[in-house]
Amino acid sequence: MLVLGLETSCDDTAAAIIRREPDGRCRILSNEIWTEHDDHAAFGGIVPEIAARSHVERLDRTIEKAVSNAEINFQDLDAIAATAGPGLVGGVMVGLTTGKALSLAHDKSLIAINHLEGHALSARMTEPADFPYLLLLISGGHTQLIWVSGIGEYQRLGSTIDDAAGEAFDKTAKLLGLGQPGGPRIESAATGGRADKYDFPKPLAQREGCDFSFSGLKTAVRDAAENLEEISGQDVADLAASFQFAAARHLTLQTEKAMANLSVSEGRLVVAGGVAANCAIKSMLGSLCERKNWKLFFPPPKLCTDNGAMIAWAGAERLAAGMTDDITDVLALAPRARWPLAPPPEGFEIGGGRKGPKA
């Protein structure tokens, strides 16, 4: 089956065509992403109104390019999948409305996709990540541990109580004068720094459960920078490296706590979201999985950040499972700024594992 995916939840305008083969494998025919960080640079962060206007101006051309590069026609499509949330609601409206228009114009099924589900299933596009698995979702707006049992079957085990991981990287990069996007800038600066120069705290180390917190870590970096009389290039590199190490350690320790509460015959960890492209985080989680004898799955870097292919793939997975949306269902196809992938836990017990604490 052929599916067009539209992604406009933040500042990236994306469209892609994927083919889901009869054996369940994914073939990406096109994956077009239009990113203009310069539009927001003067404001020190993403401006929702500018992002929405950018989607209006660029989405049609991005779709046209995706269809052309895939060498197909709209008539060849089986469905159109569009992000319906969560995200900047102005941008979500642009993509979802465009998806509705194309669905009606070409008489194709429309599937409203939760942006987080796109990330949750993205590893299955390139690797045999069979259900069930533990998902560590780390992006600009979300940091969660989710037990994925199947398509549409998600249970949240832990979440951030303040900043998301990507948000912490962005704010730290801004603090250090590195610019945006923060994740790649921090990782680049850290290559010349010492990760052991600053002993930043371990958030929630003494607290039960596997929630996350990055606000204290961010504050520790600011305090360390303010204690320096004059910040040199080496100071910036050391601060970036020490912050990156502390963030990776926190993600790894909380993931290990979640693993300890799961009793599964074959452990599988999928790491997805924009922050999953960070090599230091990959390395530390890789060591954890090797020690625990778990299989580790990472999408390729180009599929970690927001993209249309993951939305198209989530649509194809839902279509294969018989999950489509009624174009006349106003509530099901409403754009949403907030849309939890899974409800918060009251404690969890999976596969016979001991019951975890309440969030």
Which pLDDT tens digit goes with each residue over 97-117?
999 999 999 999 999 999 999
Per-residue pLDDT band at 91 (split at 50, 70, 90): very high
Does a structural domain hold residue 349? no
Total domains in the chain come to 2
Among 314, 352, 353, which residue's Cα sits nearest to residue 117? 314
Residues 54 and 161 placed together within one structural domain of the fold: no
Residues 96 and 146 placed together within one structural domain of the fold: no
The pLDDT of residue 6 is above 90: yes
Query: What is the pLDDT, as a whole number, of residue 352?
Result: 42
User: In which residue are the tokens 């228009």 written?
Assistant: 101
Per-residue pLDDT band at 181 (split at 50, 70, 90): confident
The pLDDT of residue 42 is above 70: no
Residues 149 and 227 placed together within one structural domain of the fold: yes
Residues 150 and 294 placed together within one structural domain of the fold: yes
Residues 140 and 32 placed together within one structural domain of the fold: no
Cis peptide before 132 (omega within 30 of 0): yes
Residues 283 and 153 placed together within one structural domain of the fold: yes
Cα angle at 281 between 308 and 145, to 5 degrees? 65
Query: What is the pLDDT, as a whole number, of residue 265?
Result: 79
Query: What is the pLDDT, as a whole number, of residue 354?
Result: 38
Domain ranges, residue 106:
2-123+303-320
Does a structural domain hold residue 356? no
Higher-pLDDT residue of 42 and 203 is 203
Does a structural domain hold residue 310? yes
Residues 146 and 267 placed together within one structural domain of the fold: yes
- What CATH number does residue 309 fall under? 3.30.420.40
Does a structural domain hold residue 333? no
Does a structural domain hold residue 351? no
Among 152, 49, 59, 53, which residue's Cα sits nearest to residue 99? 59
Residues 112 and 175 placed together within one structural domain of the fold: no
Residues 177 and 288 placed together within one structural domain of the fold: yes
Cα angle at 106 between 23 and 26, to 5 degrees? 20
What SS3 state is found at 180? Answer: coil
The pLDDT of residue 50 is above 60: yes
Q: Please, what sign has the CA dihedral across residues 180, 307, 304, 168? A: positive
When computed from its CA atoms, the radius of gyration of the chain, rounded to whole angstroms, is 20
Query: What is the pLDDT, as a whole number, of residue 154?
Result: 96
Residues 293 and 180 placed together within one structural domain of the fold: yes
Residues 142 and 273 placed together within one structural domain of the fold: yes
For 153-173, how does the pLDDT look when each residue is reduced to its tens digit (9 = 90+)?
Answer: 999 999 999 999 999 999 999
pTM: 0.92
- Return the half-sphere exposure (C-beta side, CA atoms, 13 A cut-off) of residue 114: 16
Does a structural domain hold residue 158? yes
Residues 251 and 289 placed together within one structural domain of the fold: yes
For 282-334, how does the pLDDT look when each residue is reduced to its tens digit (9 = 90+)?
Answer: 999 999 999 999 999 999 999 999 999 999 999 999 999 999 888 777 677 89
Does a structural domain hold residue 27? yes
Does a structural domain hold residue 210? yes
